[in-house]
Structures are given as structure tokens and as C-alpha cells.
């Protein structure tokens, strides 16, 4: 067997690195070292991500691991760098951006990139300090794993380390570093950067890299006159459509869908001012910085398409024919509604499509919005109704019970066409009992500020398996307290 020249020798961690992105060259990144933090400590770890990376419990508990994932010590074989990209932010061209506080350690031999977020200033920090604070790091760590538990494509989070080093935001906070994991952190904004700067050779190099490593079927496509770059745009459009359909179905608000926050692999990336819906409000805005409501929950599907259109413009120098780019983007309009319909059908426990299904979905969403019903609790109680036939816990959620009774009668007639046990099981595995509500995250953050990380660990356990009952943790699945509505989540972290 011929050894891969990019794979570096194994270290104590057991990690072996091959660093394909680093091999692209200096036009794509700047090599640099993280800035150390004083007296780091563990805040949280994901054993499931550690297993994916084949990291042993002993090593992950070691001082070497703590130092490495804080940015205080390099791991043998890593080639630490920050990548450059550009993008549209809140619909406006923002020019050059880049990894302002994230540093890629490298890519493991099994094809996963490992990145430190909050490890210090880079050439792309844009007057920032390159740091992340404890509150935002806990939210990103937990939500990355919560989305994975829900089956939604996402970057992952291996661990958080903290330090009492002071960080100034609206007030003085403490520092933290999240170790993120993904097959790639390449964004739409990477392509926009080279397209807007007229660097078409680098644009082609990047597109070829993505196709060869993640979308190899685009090379042999018979669609688009065999144009692999149009095929790439189509594949990204379809993955993005499927991802956003899952967001909408579970009631997830991303909060800052800038083009530099959109993954070329169709992964949920960059957890900033996100939120899972409490009371159902289609126009809910979770980002306190989003004064115009651009990224409201009900606008996410159209914003995703707008972002894909920006990607299409960036790829046009390679696709060359505008008609091909437009045809590739059309796949989003086909895939998104089909995927959302499938997801909502599963939430209702329906195994196949029938006439009137759309009206059934639209009808209940209208009632949920009208009475401001808690989104997750409704779907979980409806799942229980499918299992035991007890309607009162669901009816109790509605002010207009007569309107709900009418809907429930129609739904029950439709559900009678299904295998009852199979339908109830489908609903219990589709409608989570636990989601990362803002108040749950806030409680864990307040505990962590007092060096009590049990809240982080307990939430992680629930969110890794959100469809399970988890006896004893009923309060975490209950209605949010009144004070939860006053929590403001912004782009500041």
C-alpha cells in the first residue's frame, strides 16, 4: 500500500492528519498559531463526537487534550490556519470577511476537519479580539449536538474549554473555545470571495476541490450538458433545500443566514442567535440584531434560495451559461416543498400522501399561530394522542377548542387509514420531547458561570436523544417560564 503523503504520523491522541484544505495554498488561508488562554478548564465534552474521532476517554481527559483544544499547545501533524472568504450580510455585500476567530487545526485521516472557535485574533478579525465568550460557546456546543440528535445536517462540537480571561462585549465576560468538527467548513462566501475579486483560477481550484472531495458524481453528470459546476450548484441547492425543510418542520430559527454562514455541504453552521420556537409565530424573529426581520422564521426558505442565487452568481464564471445556472437553482423550488411536505406528514404520523393533506397541515399551523400554542409541546402531545386516544391534553393547548375539535375530527378520519401502532411510533420518533429552548440554555449558562457544568452535561444527555422520555427530566420538556420571553439573543458573542 502506498502511503498518503498528506497523512501525518500518529500522535498520543491517536489522531492522524492529512490537511487537504491547507494544501490549496496561501490564496485560501493564512497560517498562524492560536493565542493561548490562561488556566483553561473543561466546560463540556461530547462523547459521541469523541468516538467519531476515535479519541479515547483517557486522552480526552488529559492535560494535553485540554491544552490542545484551548489553543495553548499544538497537536503533532496539525497545520493551523484561518481561511479567507467574503459574503453578503443581512442582504448587503460586506466584502472580505474570513475566519475572524476560528482556526482550522487540520483534517483527520478519516475526513473530518477540526476547528477551534475563539482561539484568538486572525488577519480576518476585522477589529475584533478573535475570542468567543462562555455563553455563546455553550449555546453553540449544545445546539450542534441537539441538531445532530434531531437528525438535521450540522457541524458538530467535540468540547468546550473555558478560561477566566476577561472578554469585553456589552459587559465583561469570560473566554471559551469550542472545538467544532465537520467534513468541511467551506461556505458560500468562499466562492463569493474569489468571484468578486476576479480570481477565477482560484475559484475553479476551490470548486474542483469541493467536487472531487464531496460531490464526485458531478464529474460524470449527463445533466447541464455535462457541466460539473452547474451540477455542483444543483446538488448544493438540493441539500440546502432539504436542510431548511427540516429546520421549518422542527421549528428552528437560525437567526443570521448570511451567505458566509451557509455551508457548501448543506450543514447547519454558525450557531449564533438561534432559537427553537416556543409559542408558534410564523413571523418570529429570534435575532435581536435583526431589526428588519430579514431572517424571521417564515422567511428562512426564501432567504436560503436568495443565498443560493448569490452562490450561483459566484459560480457563473465557471458555469458560463446563465441558463444552466438558473436551471440548477430550480431544483431548490422542487426539493424544498417536497421535503417539507414529507416532514410534516411524518409529524402527523401519516405514511403516505392523500388528497387534503396540505389543508390538514395548513389548518393546524393556522390554529397554532392563532392561539400562540407551544410548537414542540403540541406535536409531542399529538404523538401521545395517537398512542392512547386521549384528546384532552392536546385540546387544553387551544383557546378556540371548537376550531381545534373540527380539525381533530378531520385528522382522526385520515389517521384511521394508517396502522395505529406504526403511526404513533413514527410520531414519537419525529416530534421531539426535548429541544434546546432559550431558557434551558440560559439556565445552563448561569450555572456554568459559577463553575457548575452539570447543567451543560444534563442538557447534552437530553438533546443527544431528544425523542426519548428521560424520566425525571419532565421540567426540561415543559412550557417556558414567563421570563424566557425577555431573553435577547443577538449577533454579539
Return the active site residues.
Answer: 260
Angle at 229 between CA 224 and CA 231, to 5 degrees: 50
Any idea what DSSP says for residue 119? B
Which grid coordinates are listed for 318?
465557471
The secondary structure of residue 485, as a DSSP letter, is G
Spatial contact of 171 and 151, defined as CB atoms under 8 Å apart = no
> 3-class SS at 241?
helix
Taking Cα atoms as reference points, which of 429, 90, 101, 21 lies closest to residue 257? 90
3-class secondary structure, 461: helix
- What is the torsional sign of CA 445, 484, 468, 251? negative
Are residues 127 and 426 in contact, defined by beta-carbon separation less than 8 angstroms?
Answer: no
> Distance of CA 234 to CAs 163, 221, 312, Å?
44, 11, 9
* Phi then psi dihedrals of residue 399, to 5 deg: -80, -45
For the chain, the helix, strand and coil percentages under 3-state DSSP, each to the nearest 5: 45, 15, 40
Q: With beta carbons less than 8 A apart as the criterion, state whether 328 and 228 touch.
A: no
Nearest to 188 by CA among 201, 214, 206, 208: 206
User: For residue 130, which of 40, 36, 44, 45 has the smallest C-alpha distance?
Assistant: 36
Buried b or exposed e, range 408-420, using 16+ CB within 10 angstroms: beebeebbeebee
Q: Are 215 and 237 in contact (CB under 8 A)?
A: no
Please name the residues in contact with 241: beta carbons below 8 A apart, sequence gap of 6 or more: 304, 331, 332, 335, 336, 339
- CA 478 – CA 461 distance, rounded (Å): 17
- CA angle (259 as vertex; 486, 490 as ends), nearest 5: 15
**Cell digits for 187?**
461556505
DSSP category for residue 32? -
Which residue's C-alpha cell is 443527544? 464
Amino acid at each position: 500500500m502506498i502511503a498518503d503523503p498528506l497523512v501525518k504520523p500518529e500522535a498520543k491522541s491517536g489522531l492522524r492528519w492529512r490537511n487537504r484544505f491547507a494544501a490549496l495554498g496561501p490564496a485560501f488561508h493564512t497560517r498562524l498559531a492560536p493565542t493561548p488562554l490562561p488556566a483553561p478548564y473543561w466546560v463540556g465534552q461530547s462523547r459521541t463526537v469523541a468516538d467519531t474521532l476515535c479519541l479515547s476517554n483517557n486522552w480526552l481527559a488529559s492535560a494535553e487534550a485540554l491544552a490542545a483544544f484551548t489553543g495553548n499547545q499544538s497537536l503533532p501533524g496539525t497545520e493551523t490556519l484561518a481561511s479567507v472568504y467574503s459574503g453578503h450580510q443581512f442582504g448587503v455585500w460586506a466584502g472580505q470577511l474570513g475566519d475572524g476567530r476560528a482556526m482550522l487545526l487540520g483534517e483527520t485521516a478519516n475526513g473530518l476537519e477540526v476547528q477551534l472557535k475563539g482561539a484568538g485574533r486572525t488577519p480576518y478579525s476585522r477589529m475584533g479580539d478573535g475570542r468567543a465568550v462562555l455563553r455563546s460557546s455553550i449555546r453553540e456546543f449544545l445546539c450542534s449536538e441537539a441538531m445532530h440528535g434531531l437528525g438535521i445536517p450540522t457541524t458538530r462540537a467535540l468540547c468546550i474549554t473555558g478560561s477566566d480571561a476577561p472578554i469585553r462585549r456589552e459587559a465583561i465576560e469570560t473566554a471559551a473555545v469550542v472545538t467544532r468538527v465537520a467534513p468541511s467548513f467551506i461556505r458560500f462566501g468562499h466562492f463569493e470571495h474569489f468571484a468578486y475579486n476576479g480570481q477565477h483560477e482560484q475559484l475553479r481550484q476551490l470548486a474542483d476541490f469541493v467536487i472531487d472531495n464531496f460531490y464526485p458524481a458531478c464529474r460524470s453528470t449527463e445533466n447541464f450538458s455535462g457541466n460539473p459546476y452547474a451540477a455542483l450548484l444543483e446538488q448544493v441547492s438540493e441539500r440546502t433545500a432539504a436542510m431548511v425543510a427540516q429546520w421549518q418542520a422542527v421549528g428552528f430559527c437560525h437567526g443570521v443566514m448570511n451567505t458566509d454562514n451557509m455551508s457548501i455541504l448543506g450543514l447547519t453552521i454558525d450557531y449564533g442567535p438561534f432559537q427553537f420556537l416556543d409559542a408558534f409565530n410564523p413571523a418570529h424573529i429570534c435575532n435581536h440584531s435583526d431589526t428588519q426581520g430579514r431572517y424571521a422564521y417564515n422567511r428562512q426558505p426564501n432567504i436560503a434560495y436568495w443565498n443560493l442565487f448569490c452562490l450561483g452568481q459566484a459560480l457563473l464564471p465557471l458555469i458560463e451559461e446563465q441558463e444552466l445556472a438558473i436551471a440548477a437553482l430550480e431544483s431548490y423550488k422542487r426539493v424544498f416543498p417536497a421535503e417539507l411536505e414529507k416532514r410534516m406528514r411524518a409529524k402527523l404520523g401519516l405514511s403516505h400522501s392523500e388528497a387534503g393533506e396540505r389543508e390538514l397541515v395548513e389548518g393546524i399551523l393556522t390554529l397554532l399561530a392563532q392561539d400562540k400554542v407551544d410548537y414542540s409541546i403540541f406535536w409531542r402531545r399529538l404523538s401521545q394522542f395517537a398512542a392512547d386516544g386521549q384528546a384532552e391534553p392536546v385540546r387544553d393547548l387551544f383557546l378556540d377548542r371548537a376550531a381545534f375539535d373540527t380539525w381533530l375530527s378531520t385528522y382522526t378520519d385520515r389517521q384511521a387509514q394508517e396502522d395505529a401502532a406504526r403511526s404513533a411510533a413514527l410520531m414519537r420518533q419525529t416530534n421531539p420531547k426535548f429541544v434546546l429552548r432559550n431558557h434551558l440554555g440560559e439556565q445552563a449558562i448561569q450555572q456554568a458561570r459559577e463553575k457548575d457544568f452539570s447543567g451543560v452535561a444534563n442538557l447534552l444527555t437530553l438533546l443527544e436523544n431528544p425523542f426519548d422520555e428521560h424520566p425525571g427530566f419532565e421540567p426540561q420538556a415543559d412550557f417556558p417560564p414567563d421570563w424566557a420571553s425577555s431573553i435577547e439573543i443577538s449577533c454579539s458573542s
